[in-house]
Every structure is written in C-alpha cells, then in structure tokens.
Amino acid sequence: MEATEVSMEWLRRAFERDGYIMDQDILVSVYLSLRLEKPLLVEGAPGVGKTEIAKVLARVFGTDLIRLQCYEGLDENKALYEWDYQKQLLRIQLLRESGEVPAESDLFSEEYLLERPLLRAIRAKRRPVLLIDEVDKCDPEFEAFLFEVLSDFTVSIPELGTVRTRKVPIVVLTSNNERELSDGLRRRCVYLFIEFPSVEKELRIVRSRVPEVSARLAADVARIVSAVRGMDLRKQPSIAETLDWTRALLALGAEKVDDALLAETASVLLKSRDDVLALRRAATEPGGFVTAALERAGDAGKPGSRRG
C-alpha cells in the first residue's frame, strides 16, 4: 500500500493491529502527514508514544526505519556523510609503495563514502521512514541545516555531485520541548502534540501491550495511574511506566491493586525518591489512595482533568 493512498480507517486499523492505540488527534495528524507528504513533528512528555509512531509506520508499510538520534554537537558529517579517512590513507600508502600518485577522484569516490542516516534516507531505493529523534537536543545551526534538507531532499556532495531523492521519505521528528524549535521547521511540518492518555485510552494500551492482564487489573491500573498523574510530582508516570508497573503487578501475582501493593511497587511507577515517598505517604494515610482513585476515575475523563 502506498503511503499517500491510504484511508484514515485503513491507517487506524493498521496501527491497532500493531498494538498502537490511536486517538482521533494522532490519526488525523499521521494521516495528513502521509497524504500531504510533509514531515510529522510530534511533541509531548517523555514516554507518551512519540518515537513509537515512526517504528509503527515502518512496520505498517513494510519499509526501513532510518533513525537519526539528535544530540548536542551533532553535525552534518555525522548526519549526512563523511569520508572514510582511514581507508583513504591506506590507499594512499599502497599507491605510494608502488610508486604511483593517487588522483583525487580515486580517493573521493563511492568506495570511500560513509553514508549517514540523512544520505541513506535520500538514496534509499524504497521510500523509508526517517525518524529524526529528539530534534530539540540538537544545536540551532544543525536545525537550520536540517530544515534545508527537509525542504528539498537534495544534497550536493562536491566530489560526487548532486544527490536527489527519488521518493520523499516518510519523516517523523520528535521533541520533548527542551529547546524551542524554529518557526521555519515548525511551518514545514504537520504538528502533533500527544497528551497523557485518558483513562479509557490507557486501558486499551495496557490491554494491547500486556495481553495477559485481566480486564479487572488493567482497569485498576489505568485509573490509579491517572490519579497518580493528578498528584503534584516532579515527573508524572508515562505510558512506558504504566506498562512496566502492569508487568510488575503480574509478576507479583496480583489480581487487584490495594494500598499496600501500591506502596510496595511505587518505585516501578515513579522514578524519583521524592515522588515515590509522596505516593507511599498517600497510600498509607488513613483512607489510603486506591479507593479514592478508583472512585474518582468514574468520570474516566479527559487527560489532565484531575491534574494540579
């Protein structure tokens, strides 16, 4: 199936078959980025499923996932291509020994080219998925360069000439918003912000990713996590932590969650000492945490409705 020809319903089914639960926001943005052949820029808190979108897209279209992990100091050489200096030196040495003078064109040929993710995506035979992960971690200069590449997918390599893409890759950029991205880059993309999931969505995610969990335990998990996110924490638990917690509860043979179990397993769900202590305190207070959490979640609500 060509990515530009899919229907929204086909896309939703394909993602769900792969275990990724879509809500309408995500579906529409992914769909439009495919139809309009624009990069998809995904923002949201850590662990809400940003990177996973690119992985699922690659599986859904049966194509390669090419990943460019961004970090401070990432430059064109590491992102696009570099020359294999060691191999070049070796070649020069060999030629010298046999009394020959190496020609420049000999040394700057395909044989000595080290393809990095962007060039690999541009030259791919099949339309790949290009994941530019955590783009907010790169420097503004690199972002400007990236913007140019994403504008026309053409690069010129002085020694080899201009390389043009056959088919614009499916591009997914992710950001945790550590640094504000340029307007230019934003304008070029279809934008998607992923919120923490609603209780209903998280329940579906848990059942899809941990199929051995009972409906009862999954429902408890989704409601309690939602209530935990409503606490005043340093870092709210993400979907990844929800899934870890579910697996931990199963490993402990739990069928339902009570305050004692919540206190014991708090460090699977929360990743800082203060947060763990706060949750333990809440669970051991008179009345506890769990009962109220399960009751409050009756309004199985919008993300963040109980925050603050």
**CA gap 165, 89 in Å, rounded:** 31
- Per-residue mark of binding to ligand ATP, 234-273 (x: CB under 6 A): -----xx---------------------------------
Number of residues that bind ligand ATP (CB under 6 A): 18
Residue 50 is a binding residue for ligand ATP (CB under 6 A): yes
Which of residues 3 and 172 has its CB atom nearest to ligand ATP in the complex?
A: 172
259, 260, 264, 267 alpha-carbon torsion, rounded to 10°? 10
Give which of Mg ion, ligand ATP, none residue 138 binds (C-beta under 5 to 8 Å, depending on kind).
none
8-state DSSP, 190: E
Report the 10 Å Cβ neighbour count for 306. Answer: 18
**CA gap 200, 195 in Å, rounded:** 13
Q: 75: part of which helix (H) or strand (E)?
A: none
Structure tokens at 197: 């999931």
Which of residues 45 and 155 has its CB atom nearest to Mg ion in the complex?
A: 45
Q: Give the binding range for Mg ion (CB under 5 A) out of 4-12, 51-59, 74-82, 142-150.
A: 51-59
From the DSSP assignment, how many helices (H) and strands (E) are in the chain? 15, 9
How many Cα atoms are found within 13 Å in the side-chain-facing hemisphere of 227?
Answer: 22
CB of 135 to Mg ion, least distance (A): 11
**CA gap 302, 308 in Å, rounded:** 14
Say if residue 36 is exposed, middle or buried (CB neighbours under 10 Å; 0-12, 13-18, 19+): exposed
Identify the residue among 51, 69, 165, 267 touching Mg ion (CB under 5 A): 51
Which of residues 39 and 80 has its CB atom nearest to ligand ATP in the complex?
A: 39
Residue 52 is a binding residue for ligand ATP (CB under 6 A): yes
Give which of ligand ATP, Mg ion, none residue 304 binds (C-beta under 5 to 8 Å, depending on kind).
none
177, 41, 153, 167 alpha-carbon torsion, rounded to 10°? 150
Beta strands 170-175 and 190-194, pairing class: unpaired
CB of 230 to ligand ATP, least distance (A): 20
Which of residues 47 and 237 has its CB atom nearest to ligand ATP in the complex?
A: 47
Give which of ligand ATP, Mg ion, none residue 20 binds (C-beta under 5 to 8 Å, depending on kind).
ligand ATP
Q: Give the binding range for ligand ATP (CB under 6 A) out of 43-51, 135-143, 180-188, 258-266.
A: 43-51
Identify the residue among 3, 11, 14, 21 touching ligand ATP (CB under 6 A): 21
Q: Helix, strand or coil for residue 68? A: strand
Residue 305 is a binding residue for ligand ATP (CB under 6 A): no
Residue 205 is a binding residue for ligand ATP (CB under 6 A): yes
Applying CB under 6 A, the residues found at the interface with ligand ATP are 19-21, 44, 46-52, 174, 176, 205, 208-209, 239-240
